Structure 1
Amino acid sequence: MILPRRRFLTMFAAVASCAAVPALAQRRQLPATFPLFDAPPASHRLTHFDVTAEGLTYRLFLARPRAEAPAAGWPSLWMLDGNAAFSRLDAARLEAHPGLAVIGIGYPIEEAFDGASRARDYTPVPLETPTHGRGRDWQFGGQEAFRARLLGPLSAALAERVPLDPARRSLWGHSYGGVFTLATLLQDPGAFRAYMPISPTAGFGGGALQAMASEAPRLQDGSAEVLMMLGDSEHRSGTPEPAEPRPSPDTMELGARLARRGDLNVQVKVLEGLGHGATFAASFPRSFVLAEA
């Protein structure tokens, strides 16, 4: 179901230094706006629609290339936190990649982020109780169920609207979305051709990702691309800033561990001077290039 345009395009004021931090959803958010829908690109057709799977409803945003599709379908970039991602995309970004389908996987909300839903969907079962979300009765650990919905009914709904090449799809996620991106890489590496974990909360749940990495299956044929990006000025909300800028040790260690695998081509990019929220949109240029490659 497509929302009326008046309701869909409501006011939003983003706080770039904080956006996408899991704790952000505990604060009051203003409704999101989507300038891209007001000034659409010449290269893509834009739409959004809701899909219900297993009693949960997701809002899918789609930028479909206007040109004739290749025989195998379009390469595609799948972006978690789709409401926030499409609120920050602009026409110039899409026009620079006219042969790339871009998909935002979001929620039927007026705000940019749904903190409780992303905590439920994007995280593995924690080894220790997370501190984020306390007092809001957040649930964690549903990433496997969400991945089944993503690759099942949500993917099927997209296939009805746009031809996509299953061998050329990429997954992008920021913060908790980065956790899901890494968890998918570690549990089902063949699901996507490329993985883009941006500022992932790599220490989530007392090292749940590190435990998964110890038992992760390898790709039997070919390899996957991994582009990990993070700022050197990130730190957990409520903790003091480090004396000197430095990237997250947990994230850097996990990146180095993945780089030792023979079935992965891993790039780790440290974005100097950027905090957690600022890496969200700063990651777009490299991510789009890799997704279309």
Structure 2
Amino acid sequence: MPFGELPILNYLGKIVDILVVWYVIYKSIMMIRGTKAVQLLKGIILIMLVHIVSNFLGLSTLQWLMDRAITWGFLALIIIFQPELRRALEQLGRGRLFSRSSANDDEEQTKMVEAIIKATEYMAKRRIGALISIERETGMGDYIETGIILNARVSSELLINIFIPNTPLHDGAVIIQKNHVAAAACYLPLSESPFISKELGTRHRAALGISEVTDSITVVVSEETGAVSITKNGELHRDLTPEQFRELLTKELVPATKATSSSRWQWRGKRHDG
């Protein structure tokens, strides 16, 4: 029996094939989370389900319509997602589509965290209200589109200037994407949780709202008290000291310290239980 036809190698090949396909599907889903593509994906799934049901029940006219929708739908998807496909191909050409972060990326991430910390401390002392959301795995493209596109390198000076009162960009959220300020004056979804304290304003509700629908880390500076808070996974951690704020932000965003971050989230800061 030829070496390549051994049963165990065939089984291993099939397992690797399945794992690779699932990994590609997983990464593709993570790329489109938080974007308009999610709604289109739901529409595609609905069309496929209707096609299966119409075929099973023998509904010829409905099945014909679904066949036409599927036939021309792929061409329509290529046209609709032309910018996203081009961006994905560019990343693939650079070898960055599924790659892990490099040492340079880690260094950039560290610089970004330091800039956020410096800007937050400055604004907290002067009671300048701020709302900064940092994208992670879940895409925030739809929320970026609601603001003013900047695509600028993160710096403490830039963040401070954005949130200075009565400037054109101060009202709304800054969204940081891939170590860059993607946009300012963005609108975030407000949380509808009934457990939020009545003393919290729109900024805190927006920070909680975005943390409920994405895996982003959001920093809030209160303009009334100068208190600094962080939201993550639907939880609000309030009134953090500078040391607590630095520790939490660093452990969540700097890859070298992420492994030990989850346990410390349980006791740092005040949660919004009442």
Q: Which TM bucket (shorter chain)? A: under 0.3
* TM-score of the pair, normalised by structure 2: 0.27
Report which of the two has the higher share of strand.
1
* TM-score of the pair, normalised by structure 1: 0.26
